[in-house]
Amino acid sequence: MKNEKLNNWVREVTNLCQPDKIYWCDGSKKEYGHLMAQMVLEGRAIPLKKRPNSFLFRSDPSDVARVEARTFIATKTKEQIGPTNNWVYIDELKQTMTGLYKGCMKGRTMYVIPFSMGPAGSPMSKLAIEITDSPYVVCNMHIMTRVGGKVIDLLNNGGDFIQSLHSVGAPLEKGQKDVSWPCAPMEKKYISHFPDENSIWSFGSGYGGNALLGKKCLALRLASVIAKREGWMAEHMLILRLTSPEGRKYHIAAAFPSACGKTNLAMVQPTVPGWKSECIGDDIAWIKISPDGRLHAINPESGFFGVAPGTSYQSNPMAMDTLRENVIFTNCALTDDGDVWWEGMDGDKPSHTIDWKGRDWTPSSKETAAHANARFTAPASQCPIISPDWEKPEGLPIDIFIFGGRRSAVAPLVMEAFSWDHGVFLGATAASEPTAAILDNVGIRYDPFAMFPFCGYNMADYFQHWFDMGDKLKSKAPRIFYVNWFRKSHDGKWLWPGFGENSRALKWMCERVDGKAGAKKTSIGYLPNESDLDLRGLNIPQKNLRELLRVDAEVWKAEIPKMEEFLSQFGERLPKRLRNQFDELKSRLG
């Protein structure tokens, strides 16, 4: 490569990690095929007879999810990253991790992956390099990001890049046999970010969010810091386009915590007659003010790294059709005829599978066949409703922001914020139940803007950034809504059918943007009257609808102490405008 900074860094990492070999990735199909073939030969990957060019991996049972407790952001002062992140002083963390990296790639190949988040060369994209000793990571990065090609040309022309270093943290001594999923014990895992120098150091885990460094580490944690500095936004949001029967296009970006149906909404099949939906992204949005004064968004990723259990033709047919070929599956079950299976798939349970730990499984087994966080990695281009404009370098103009979470009680089906500031308050106080447990007495976690695990700086400053963006956008700011698809009745039954029927709420939002639909003003926001929602063809009991759109002041008053406790952790740094919104809510509730 003709990039001096890159060559120097690769030399430095080589000296530290001491790999047996160095391999520069070009992102080609040939490279992918070669690495997969090698992993099949070594018994790490299982080719699936039923899905062309698709493979199943089983992780170590201890390495199955993101590890928030082992995720660190290193800055000079703790105040920079605030109370919601794990802080370590930069020099201290570097010293500890340098010790761990010493000789950590012995017996392994070190892969240098040049990649772009966002279409290569787009003014909204970022170039980066991931150095890793995991061929599984290389193949996943091929799907999730743009590897090689134009990225190499840009780097050869002196393009700057973000440095991200990853090791599974399992060196091999001479003659030592490798395990199929190498990783380090929990106390040696570090997912570290150095925002002052735009770098990521990850050690000890091979799992998605910890190891595919373009995703959560770069596109959210580091990018959120860069975005704040440069005046744009890096958000944990899906992006979709809705088209009305008249052909008017609306672009929607929606933030929900993990496991609240982001991928399902991103690929929604509208049931409202005449409305059409296209998918642009299912997890991350980079959003900037364009010369037209509006916010334009791109999906910086090029694949879906989705939760498999619960995905079915009933819940998400477009995802199922995306998964027919060229997919990497992790921790799913293997059927006897060479396919993957997971809990919640359509049809009867298979009478026998090999579970995610490699053991025989039958429906009478006590544990699930697939891990609850089993994943698929699939190219976005394979989604049947991917928008023809999903890779537009200048992004797409956002009309609507949606926030929400999973609440079996309290939050209504849908509401609109009174103003931008009120919308920021709704985003900042978004709350979700950790599980779909039955109502009442269930714990909730505040997950502001669904960014709790992903905001790379002080969350109070992040709230201020949202206010600042609103000030810049003025009348061109998107409208803000809050939704809850997960309300339950007192006997624990779903009040709302969800999935494609959520398009009815989306249609109301679009009509609000155009000033066509009515609403009633309540103490918590503008809610639709029943007659404002298009419910043609939907058969749900009247009493469900009434409950879904009811605002119970007493229930909301009971939320106030919890909100107060959550907001008070930010102390004096909490923006005054957020405090004002909170005070106004209290006085409206009386």
Nearer to Mn ion, 88 or 191 (CB): 191
Q: Is residue 260 annotated as a catalytic residue, yes or no? A: yes
- Cα end-to-end span (Å), the chain: 66
- Which lies closer to ligand OXD via its Cβ, residue 209 or residue 214? 209
Residue with tokens 């155009």: 514
Q: What's the min distance (Å) between Cβ of 449 and ligand OXD?
A: 13
Distances from the Cα of 97 to the Cα of 72, 172, 182, angstroms? 12, 19, 18
- Min dist CB 432 to ligand OXD, Å, is 12
d(CA 166, CA 221): 16
Binding of Mn ion by 283 (CB under 5 A): yes
Residue count at the site for Mn ion (CB under 5 A)?
1
Task: Report angle CA 169, 14, 212 to the nearest 5 degrees.
Answer: 50
* Alpha helix (H) residue ranges in 53-104: 90-101
Can you give 535-551 as a three-state secondary structure string? CCCCCCCHHHHHHHCCC
Task: Say which entry of Mn ion, ligand OXD, none residue 406 contacts (CB below 5 to 8 A, set by partner kind).
Answer: none
Q: Which does 66 bind (CB under 5 to 8 A by kind): ligand OXD, Mn ion, none?
A: ligand OXD
CA distances from 110 to 14, 25, 97, 104, 135 (A): 8, 10, 18, 10, 9
For Mn ion, which residue has the nearest CB?
Answer: 283
Residue with Cβ nearer ligand OXD (154 or 253): 253
- Single out the residue of 181, 222, 178, 173 nearest to residue 205, CA to CA: 181
Contacted by 302, from ligand OXD, Mn ion, none: CB < 5 to 8 Å by type? none
Kindly name the residue from 17, 104, 217, 260 that is annotated as catalytic.
260
* Helices (H), ranges, 446-522: 459-473, 503-513
- Using CA atoms, how far apart are residues 277 and 267, in angstroms rounded to an integer? 7
Q: How far is the CB of 375 from ligand OXD (least distance, A)?
A: 8
Name the segment binding Mn ion (CB under 5 A); options: 86-94, 142-150, 276-284, 408-416: 276-284
Nearest residue relative to ligand OXD (C-beta):
258
Which of Mn ion, ligand OXD, none sits in contact with 528, Cβ below 5 to 8 A by type?
none
User: Which backbone phi and psi does 554 adopt, to 5 degrees?
Assistant: -65, -40
Q: Quickly count: other Cβ atoms within 10 Å of residue 113's Cβ.
A: 26
Neighbours of 490 (CB within 10 A): 10
Residue 343, classed as helix, strand or coil, is coil
Phi and psi torsions of 62, nearest 5°: -95, 0
The encoded tokens of residue 486 equal: 């997960």
Smallest separation (angstroms) from Mn ion to the CB of 304: 10
Least separation in angstroms between CB 516 and Mn ion: 33
| Least distance in angstroms from the C-beta of 258 to ligand OXD | 4
Q: List residues binding ligand OXD (CB under 6 A).
A: 66, 209, 258, 283, 305
**Which CB, 66 or 70, lies closer to ligand OXD?**
66
Cα(14)–Cα(184) distance, integer angstroms: 20
**Residue 384 C-beta: closest distance to ligand OXD, Å:** 21
Q: Alpha-carbon distance 191 to 195, whole Å? A: 13
Phi first, then psi: give them for residue 480, nearest 5 degrees: -115, 135
Pick the closer one to Mn ion by CB: 71 or 581.
71
Interface with Mn ion (CB under 5 A) = 283
Q: Which residues are catalytic?
A: 260
